[in-house]
Structure 1
């Protein structure tokens, strides 16, 4: 009967019916119309369903990660999967799975209409996503061809899933479908398939498991982490018992058998060491930190690791291997003092934000451990000066490179806390370029005070560095950022002022062939003239004989950069060797790459975990070794001067200024003559002795600056205060996600940008600071 006929009958019989009859007929009419619409929509969706084949159903669903050239660097799951044929699968396991997952498996036709209707009603009136109602065959289809992203659980996907389940049921026997499912499900511990899980957990095949162990495995796929018998034995026992009760209800076993199996100790026969292991591939050890970041970004984008996706990254595997070998080989010539000495490094393409290599550490004993390249628990030292002090001065105050800055006695406004330089001396008036090249602390703080904390914070924000707590004047000598952040921020100096948010993933291809390409957000962080002027000054840090990073010099290469060190807190100065620091950094760049390196110890307060002597230059030498190789075969391009930048010659050096703001122009007060800078600081950042003392109490003793001289190096070293609310001894957890802050903006970008807590670096009375 057509809808027109129904409508005609309603009109014809309308006068013979009461109000209730009219309502009932209209309800029937609308239900019929909705049914026709649903059939039409289902037909349309079914026609556009992806292809499903034996190969698709039987293959593994691991996530495959590729480098930029399409070479496999990791298969998460595939390397730990043993396929088992139906004839070798115990009947108890089949019965357990059917009992708990799909009691009508042997009689349904791939879908269960009653369960689907129940789930639909629940989803419509419960406001949740489209979930539930799936038969075991539908679950197999979802694992085989569809993304498991929650955002993809749409009406269209549910319709296609049901249609394909019907086709699978028609084309394959129930025993084959069970075989596919048992071999495809994710079982935790990077294991796929129940045969693999049996081998990993019990060190024996499925055929040798007892009833309790079989029920345990059958219940794992629903939540393999939560039901892990090693880490969550109580939840695992409850789930096992639930499976046993379902088997009794389904008459697969007797109640007596179930009760006997429930008495068995949940961890009986489990090889805990193997159950907690995580198999690796050859390439994974080289790209451990990079893969960790890829995994984190994938999960933040809504992708699951057991969805069979192909992930194409921006990784340069040749560079990655070189970085790994330099950090781990004993004959690298870099002078690592011991195996505890650590390193974190990130290389970014400054022209697009692609992270091309990342080293999370050296001498790692566990896969996917602490990724030191993205941790924000260690102060950057003087590498922050171009980003917070001098860059904003050029951008907002139009300072030329020869701007006169004062290197004279200085105390933090509102306190009696003195700031010193590395040599405990003051050189009087000097150019801004000289102050940056030699990394002198006092001129940097005077420059920051002239800029103002507000504008400096805005400048850093434009470079992807946002902080939970307000910045203070002391942060002009060090802030808590990561090597990934610094490599990306310095990239803006390299490319003419554009900040690209760093990201690792280029594209993801789903099992259905859908492709999602990724790029990144960008913004104009500074003018091209600011970027150029900063680059010219940062060249001197490496190339000038009195520069603070001459160890990073690569003969003939156009490059620029900045080094930094961080001193121990004041209460530790007397407990560590003279001239020792906690951290040493170097961040440098060319036209093609930007690289940031951190070196230090995970537990810097342990005896012998101090940076001394030539160890200060390990970060610079590591950068030099990586950048030298990376630059081979690339054009040695220099930076072009923007049209509004004027070149002049002063004090025996080439100097630069922005047209209209240099030479005889007096468009701004000179920092050498301004007597209001300390007042400016008080206006921007109120610092009182009481608040200083409160900070010292809250931070368990803030950092001071210590006299630090050149100790066995060819160039001055630098040292800036360090003050951390975090105990560095707590930074050695093995979860890379614990090493970063997850305030990431993942809007159309795959990068996980860490947002560090700001912990002001505060000096205390009668202390000295060195660069």
Structure 2
């Protein structure tokens, strides 16, 4: 057939090709139609979602657009205590704003500003493409100036709120704003609302702050600098980052030339000017609003830290409700700054203190300095580079012993010569004496060091560290036995940890913010969920012993005693390492002095000391170690007025035993003394314990009663102890001296680290007197 009709084969091939081509075209058509249908479906669904979200958008008014963008801070009674930014804002009307500034802003932020109606799809697409090809320093946003204004006026700028819902509402409100206000009004709102760094809002105020003159008197280069700052006010700060500020300014100048607002030659001439030209060297101080902010400086600084940790921008018109008790805060401030109130010897001795509600973890007061009006200065209440001395003993030694080893309060412990294992470092006490075998209760009340370390040795550092971790303390390096008489923690951490003793063993992480309301009126509540970190028995038995620190004749914290108030607490001091002090030390001198105490309503931790303790004269004398106790006493007296005053109730799992007027406790089923692996002691009854401690108590009574009067007579003994490498807290070697000195040189840089700095902990603790 093909021979008779040679064209037939070619026709078949052509028909097959046509069929395949037709089939392919049909398939492509179906794909295109299907794709268009899918896109249409997405558009419809997106429109439905957009309309739904838009219908739930908050109201936007002239007041919200034109008002200051400050964040308001409230105390626990709902009173405004601070307005971040409001004191630094000078509003400027549109007819007073130079056209050069308006052109600069439009050129760099929204070149199609005068063409769109609030939302610009072309800008969104262009920004997306640009971000794919640009570096991180040149990222662009798809939001118009109007959308940016809406975000600043009614929405939170927290990262967690960058959702499709917020974007939809932002776009909808931008469309509404464009229908209601002119482009010039919108620019006016924006220029007066943007954050410009250094707690300054609005470009008129920024002009005065940075250049000491109004916007109308700025040069082209200065105008371009301000126009570019809102994208990243901190990063483009000309004082701190002049290189990046100049890059951003030049970017604005190039954008203005490209936009046609200026010529390229004008831009090039302006770029030759240093970004530092015209910057003023000093600024007028901000006027404090509502309350004198020097009272709340440390507290306010920590509130801002918490806000940032939660992802909030403090320059976004928030309402922040805190746990601050302003009355308690002012009292604490007055005690710290009135030299006559508690006996501060000079204006350079410093303080850090934190007041916590044990039942909730709410921080009710905090002070981080004295004799200083610097806004947001060093907050010593949260610094973690000073040893806590013997306030560590309940937390690392005796608390874990009761919890894990079921020690009764009358556990026999040994105050006998002790040397740290594997070393030649001996451990001694403030009086360089030994009391022999005594009860744990007595050892804690009188703050004997050797029994504490022996107890920690029995518990084990690993278990003790776990106990500390449960109380909110983490460490960057492993702890050692020496830390049993000195931990590097803050007053905030310690007040919260002691709160667990006050609160039947339940720990709450300390927190300052109770509620945040964003500009769109969405409320976010904050609480601290309690965790049972020790048995109620452990908490009660520890409290029963810590009461004696203040109300026993031989207690180390009798200066903190408040008659009639049910309370408990612990002292802590640290001695100088050998040969580190720059001068001659008296018979008794401490680097740090602490007192941490509590009632059922409050826990207060106080640290006192010097920022530069190695400089001549910067030591704490024996009498001055009472300052921390007196601050606790007078603050606790003040805040306890009108509050319930009830004693702690003995848990059902604890049994009380009495002898000679002394009440002791043990956990049910664990009445016998637990074995002491250091001495091989196997056990004893309560009467045996009391008999064995009677002689030690009698022998030490005379020395203890007259301790404050004859500390000077200990000079030769203390000097001999120091030179031989031993102190009241423990012995020390030359290596620990160097470590302590190195730590001090960097102290002022370690101000707000909530994680404990345990650098050189082991060596440092072994060289300090803890009492």
For residue 206 of structure 1, the aligned residue among 215, 229, 235 is 215
Gaps of 5+ in 1: 1-12, 678-706, 742-752
Deviation at 1:656, TM superposition (A): 1.3
- Would you say how many aligned residue pairs link Structure 1 and Structure 2? 706
RMSD value, Cα: 2.8
Q: CA offset at residue 763 of structure 1?
A: 7.6
Q: 2:603 aligns with which of 585, 594, 597?
A: 594
Match of 1:638 among 639, 647, 660: 647
In 1, Cα distance between the equivalents of 2:593 and 2:363?
22
Q: 658, 666, 669: which one pairs with 2:675?
A: 669
1:148 aligns with 157
Alignment of 1:516-531 (within 5 A): 516-531=524-539
Aligned to 2:369: 361
Moved more, 17-26 or 523-532: 17-26
1:732 aligns with 2:751: no
**Gap change, CA 1:16 and 1:487, over 3 Å in 2:** closer
Aligned to 1:624: 633
Q: Deviations over 1:371-393 (max 9, x none)?
A: 10010000000000011111111
- Give distance in 1, aligned partners of 2:192 and 2:350: 41
1:239: how far off? 1.5
Q: CA deviation at 1:712?
A: 5.0
The alpha-carbon deviation at position 262 of structure 1 amounts to 2.0
CA contact (8 A) 1:570 1:764 kept: no
Residues 486 and 263 of structure 1: is their aligned pair in 2 closer, same or farther, counting only changes over 3 Å?
same
* TM-score normalised to structure 1 length: 0.87
Which structure: larger Rg?
2
Partner residue of 1:93 out of 84, 97, 101: 101
CA deviation profile, 1:433-483 (whole Å, cap 9, x unmatched): 110011001111111111111211111111111212111111111110110
* Corresponding residue SS for 2:283: helix
Alignment of 1:703-714 (within 5 A): 710-712=707-709
- Report the more deviating stretch, 753-762 or 316-325: 753-762
Alignment partners' CA distance in 1, 2:158 and 2:128: 19
Partner of 1:285: 294
**TM alignment of 1:305-704, pairs within 5 A:** 305-332=314-341, 334-572=342-580, 575-578=583-586, 579-650=588-659, 652-662=661-671, 665=672, 668-670=674-676, 673-674=679-680
Question: Separation in 2 of the partners of 1:714 and 1:401?
Answer: 30
- Pairwise CA distance, 1:138: 0.7
What does the per-residue CA deviation read over 1:578-624, in whole Å, with 9 as the maximum and x for residues that have no partner? 21111000000011000000000001111111111311110001111
Q: Distance in 1 between matches of 2:47 and 2:22?
A: 29
Helix, strand or coil: the match of 1:646?
A: strand
1:650-684 CA distance string (max 9 Å, x none):
3551111112211xx46x3257852699xxxxxxx
1:759 corresponding residue in structure 2: 760
Contact residue 389 and residue 769 of structure 2 kept, 8 A: no
Q: Give the secondary-structure state (helix, strand or coil) at the position aligned to 2:270.
A: helix
Distance 1:764 1:175, change over 3 A: closer
Residue in structure 1 matched with residue 195 of structure 2 by the alignment: 186
| Structure 2 residue runs without a partner (length 5+) | 1-20, 684-703, 719-726
CA gap of 1:397–1:306, structure 2 versus 1, over 3 A, is same
> Deviations for 1:3-36, whole angstroms, at most 9, x for unmatched residues?
xxxxxxxxxx997943322222222221221121
Matched residue SS, 1:344: strand
CA distance in 2, matches of 1:193, 1:288: 24
Check whether the contact 1:347–1:487 (CA below 8 A) recurs between aligned residues.
yes
Following TM superposition, by how much is the alpha carbon of 1:769 offset from its aligned partner in structure 2, in angstroms? 5.1
Measured in 2, the distance between the counterparts of 1:124 and 1:639 equals 64
Deviations 1:57-100 (A, max 9, x none): 00111111110001111111011111000011011111111111
Q: TM-score, normalised by structure 2?
A: 0.87
Q: 1:233 aligns with which of 221, 227, 242?
A: 242
Determine the C-alpha separation between the residues in 1 that align with 2:218 and 2:765: 66
Report the secondary structure of 1:457's partner residue: helix
Q: Tell me the secondary structure at the aligned position of residue 564 of structure 1.
A: strand
Structure 2 counterpart of 1:700: none
Q: Distance in 1 between matches of 2:277 and 2:92?
A: 23
**Of 207-216 and 350-359, the range deviating more from structure 2:** 207-216
C-alpha separation in 2, matches of 1:137 and 1:246: 19
**Cα distance in 2, alignment partners of residues 416 and 216 from structure 1:** 64
- Cα deviation for residue 412 of structure 1 reads 0.7
